[in-house]
């Protein structure tokens, strides 16, 4: 059976981008067709300046939102990265396979390193090695497919390279994974700056729709979205990025193709209004389930405990095999 692995990082409140680009497919498709694992990657949240209490809170919230988005622990495994030691164990071995140059070429590293420096902070070494830990997440489970948004494609590509290199040097140990991207909304853009990704760790609140935003807040953010100059409604990602983003969000939430939807509008106002309502309707069931789950925190904890146990049992044989293959004595 196909093995699927993906993850979400608790560095901010989850956004519409996380939902449309990843979580929704995990719940609607992946958990039904594959042996699927979904991970709250809390170790990755420590790669930038962080507040310990906030990371704990956001990790719990991310787990609750994954379940609220429809992940069913009877169909898939939901767990927290730091609860399964195999991720960190394997990461070190992969650091011995990856190169410094490869890490420095990663787009997200370059962007985040610049941002940290601008804030006057220093760049943590773990930010540089971030993609290696991500490769460990994926490879520890002999993952076939990694459903992610467009921004993670380069990291998954690196995981492939490391798997191939390790297998060639030390014998076949890992499955070579591949990224699977959604057909629409693979890159939801910031509503205030449609040339930038809608990212949860960014500070521009009005351009980001959070999964737990009240319906009126969602409406306000969508209606105030920056659009391009011009009056006709056309779908053109390069020339009209603001409009294209709204059309893609509408298509992802209400169905249809962005280019076709464009033909149905002759004003920006009507498009924004319909997009806002479509987003509100898409988020409504998630928010309702989130409220119900918050009333039962014991349930979420139990899911995570059980998930970690299952994940550990799946990862350990592969990671042990990698330790043996690379030349370490068995810990008998």
Query: Is 18 assigned a ligand-binding role in the annotation?
Result: yes
Query: Is 9 assigned a ligand-binding role in the annotation?
Result: yes
Q: With binding defined as CB under 6 A, does residue 248 bind ligand TYM? A: no
Q: With binding defined as CB under 6 A, does residue 21 bind ligand TYM? A: yes
Query: Is 201 assigned a ligand-binding role in the annotation?
Result: yes
Q: Which residues from 44-63 bind ligand TYM, rule CB under 6 A?
A: 44
Q: With binding defined as CB under 6 A, does residue 152 bind ligand TYM? A: yes
Query: Is 269 assigned a ligand-binding role in the annotation?
Result: no
Q: With binding defined as CB under 6 A, does residue 73 bind ligand TYM? A: no
Q: What is the 3-state secondary structure (H, E, C) of the chain?
A: CCEEEEEECCCCCCEHHHHHHHHHHHHHHHHHHCEEEEEECCHHHHHCCCCHHHHHHHHHHHHHHHHHCCCCCCCEEEEEHHHCCHHHHHHHHHHCCCCHHHHHCCHHHHHHHHHHHHCCCCCCHHHHHHHHHHHHHHHCCCCCEEECCHHHHHHHHHHHHHHHHHHHHHCCCCCCCEEECCCCCCCCECCCCCCCECCCCCCCHHHCCECCCCHHHHHHHHHCCCCCCCCCCCCCCCCCHHHHHHHHHHHHHHCCCHHHHHHCCCCHHHHHHHHHHHHHHHHHHHHHHHHHHHCCHHHHHHHHHHHHHHHHHHHHHHHHHHHHHHCCCCCC
- Candidates 96-104, 151-159, 160-168, 212-220 — which segment interacts with ligand TYM by CB under 6 A? 151-159
Query: Is 11 assigned a ligand-binding role in the annotation?
Result: yes
Q: Which residue's CB atom is positioned nearest to ligand TYM?
A: 21
Q: Which residues from 131-150 bind ligand TYM, rule CB under 6 A?
A: 134, 137-138, 146, 148-149
Active-site annotation holds for 110: no
Q: Which residues from 185-244 bind ligand TYM, rule CB under 6 A?
A: 185-188, 197-199
- Candidates 94-102, 183-191, 249-257, 317-325 — which segment interacts with ligand TYM by CB under 6 A? 183-191
Min dist. Cβ of residue 173 to ligand TYM (A)? 18
Q: With binding defined as CB under 6 A, does residue 17 bind ligand TYM? A: yes
Active-site annotation holds for 200: yes
Catalytic residue among 110, 200, 221, 273: 200
Q: In what order do the strands lie in the sheet with 3-8?
A: 76-80, 35-40, 3-8, 145-147, 178-180
Catalytic residue among 110, 197, 272, 273: 197
Among 22, 34, 211, 276, binds ligand TYM (CB under 6 A): 22
Active-site annotation holds for 197: yes
Write the Ramachandran bin of 202: left for phi over 0, alpha for psi from -120 to 50, otherwise beta: beta
Residues 6+ apart with CB under 8 A from 130: 44, 47, 106, 108, 109
Min dist. Cβ of residue 44 to ligand TYM (A)? 5
* Pairing label, strands 145-147, 76-80: unpaired
- Candidates 14-22, 26-34, 98-106, 302-310 — which segment interacts with ligand TYM by CB under 6 A? 14-22
Among 9, 13, 160, 240, binds ligand TYM (CB under 6 A): 9
Binding-site residues from annotation for ATP? 9-11, 17-18, 149-151, 188, 197-201
Instruction: By CB under 6 A, name the binding residues for ligand TYM.
Output: 5-9, 17-18, 21-22, 41, 44, 134, 137-138, 146, 148-149, 151-152, 155, 185-188, 197-199
Binding-site residues from annotation? 9-11, 17-18, 137, 149-151, 188, 197-201
Which amino acids are annotated catalytic?
A: 112, 197, 200
């Amino acid at each position: 059976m196909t093995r699927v692995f993906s993850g979400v990082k608790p560095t901010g409140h989850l956004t519409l981008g996380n939902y449309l680009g990843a979580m929704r497919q995990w719940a609607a498709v992946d958990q039904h067709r594959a042996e699927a694992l979904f991970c709250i990657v809390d170790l990755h949240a420590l790669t930038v300046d962080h507040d310990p209490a906030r990371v704990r809170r956001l990790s719990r919230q991310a787990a609750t939102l994954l379940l609220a988005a429809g992940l069913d622990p009877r169909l898939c495994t939901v767990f927290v990265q730091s609860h399964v030691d195999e991720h960190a164990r394997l990461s070190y071995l992969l650091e011995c396979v990856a190169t410094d140059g490869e890490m420095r070429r990663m787009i997200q590293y370059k962007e985040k390193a610049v941002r940290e420096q601008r804030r006057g902070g220093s760049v943590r070494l773990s930010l540089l090695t971030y993609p290696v830990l991500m490769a460990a997440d994926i490879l520890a489970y002999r993952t076939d497919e990694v459903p992610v948004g467009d921004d993670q494609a380069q990291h998954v590509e690196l995981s492939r390279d490391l798997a191939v290199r390790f297998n060639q040097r030390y014998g076949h140990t890992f499955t070579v994974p591949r990224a699977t991207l959604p057909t629409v909304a693979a890159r939801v853009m910031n509503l205030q700056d449609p040339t930038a990704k809608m990212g949860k760790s960014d500070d521009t609140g009005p351009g980001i729709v959070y999964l737990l935003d009240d319906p009126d807040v969602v409406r306000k953010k969508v209606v105030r979205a920056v659009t391009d100059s011009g009056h006709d409604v056309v779908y053109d990602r390069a020339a009209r990025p603001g409009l294209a983003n709204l059309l893609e969000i509408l298509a992802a939430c209400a169905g249809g193709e962005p280019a076709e939807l464009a033909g149905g509008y002759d004003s920006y106002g009507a498009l924004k209004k319909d997009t806002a309502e479509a987003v509100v309707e898409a988020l409504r069931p998630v928010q309702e389930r989130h409220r119900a789950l918050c009333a039962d925190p014991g349930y979420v904890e139990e899911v995570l405990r059980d998930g970690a146990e299952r994940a550990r049992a799946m990862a350990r044989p592969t990671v042990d095999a990698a330790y043996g293959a690379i030349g370490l004595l068995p810990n008998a």
